[in-house]
Amino acid sequence: MWARLIPLAIILTTVMCTPARLRGQSADRHDASFSAVEVSREGRYQVDARVRLLLFWIRKSNIGDGRLTWRRGPDGIVGYELLVGSDPARAPRHINRWGYLREESGASGATVFGVMSQSDEQSVEEADQSTRRTDGTHAFKALRQFLTGSQARVTVSDVQVRQDLTYADLDMLLSAVPGAPSKTKTVAMAQWTSPGFLAAAASLIEEGRTADPAAANAQHLVRIYPYNGQLYQLQLRSAEHVSRYTRAGRSFGAAIRGRFAVLNRRTREETPFAVVYGVEGNLAGVPLLISWRPRWWLEIECMLRND
């Protein structure tokens, strides 16, 4: 399950403005392990989807929203925060799936916190049924990881609530996490090169952006990061330079079309995805379009909003 949240993270790894209903909700209100570091950049995305029914793909636009926040603080503290999900009022069959992830790293170590709605559906029919539970409870998973040196302390919580919370209810869900049943483990974490996925993605995007265009296509840039007691590898497999990127009638100027992949180094499970990101001015390093297929029957696209 947690591996499936990780591609969501790339949706929000750098940007500029956020919708009012997502504004001001953050883990540091509920978790003292995070610093109240200043927001240096925020952004929002429109979530579109294609759902496969038998032999045909059906496209649905604007089924949800995403937000990314960059944070910078004193003493070299760097933070990233993402919130992304479907809006059941707009999504097909009222499907409600969302996730939140926050990272912060500094001289004393790194903290990662994530929460997501539980979902293990293998078909669109199962996804439809899972939105119609009758027992009155709704399940979420929360994970908190503290990383110091070569050791990670990981706490996983099972959060049960009586309301089917959406991403607009993040603050309410965060309030329920401290009282939820949890299990903690300590794991040796050697060989990591980034404290978390968001930091790894931001680093690779910047390296791909500044690399020589002729060499970037041939380079395989890699970052290794720990998550939930395991090591993951994020790889930038190619970076195709585009002189002028256009999408849905909008022109974004010069961009890079990057092909990425997340690899679980223990299970060898791999999740490929693609990101088009800007290279100049205010859009430098900003994802313009993100696409991936978390299920064989579902394809997700997230596009930077302009309003």
Rounded to whole angstroms, how far apart are CA atoms 97 and 83? 11
Report strand pairing: 56-72 vs 38-53.
Answer: antiparallel
Q: Are 226 and 189 in contact (CB under 8 A)?
A: yes
Instruction: Give one word for 112, left, alpha or beta, with left for phi > 0 and alpha for psi -120 to 50.
Output: beta
Say what the pLDDT of residue 9 is.
Answer: 42
What is the predicted pLDDT for the residue at 19? Answer: 32
* Tokens 């969501």, located at residue: 8
**pLDDT value of position 26:** 56
Position 223 scores a pLDDT of: 95
Q: Which of 111, 116, 128 is nearest to 35 (CA)?
A: 111
Per residue of the chain (307 residues), give pLDDT as tens.
444 444 444 333 332 223 333 434 555 555 656 766 788 877 789 999 887 777 777 888 999 999 888 888 888 899 999 999 989 999 877 888 889 999 999 988 999 999 988 655 444 455 445 544 556 788 899 999 999 988 999 999 999 998 889 999 999 999 999 999 999 999 998 889 999 999 999 999 998 888 877 665 556 789 999 998 899 999 999 889 999 999 988 999 999 999 999 999 999 999 999 999 999 888 888 889 999 887 777 788 999 998 6
**Per-residue tokens: 156:** 């996983």
Rounded-to-integer distance, Cα 48 and Cα 20, Å: 20
Q: Quick one: pLDDT at residue 147?
A: 94
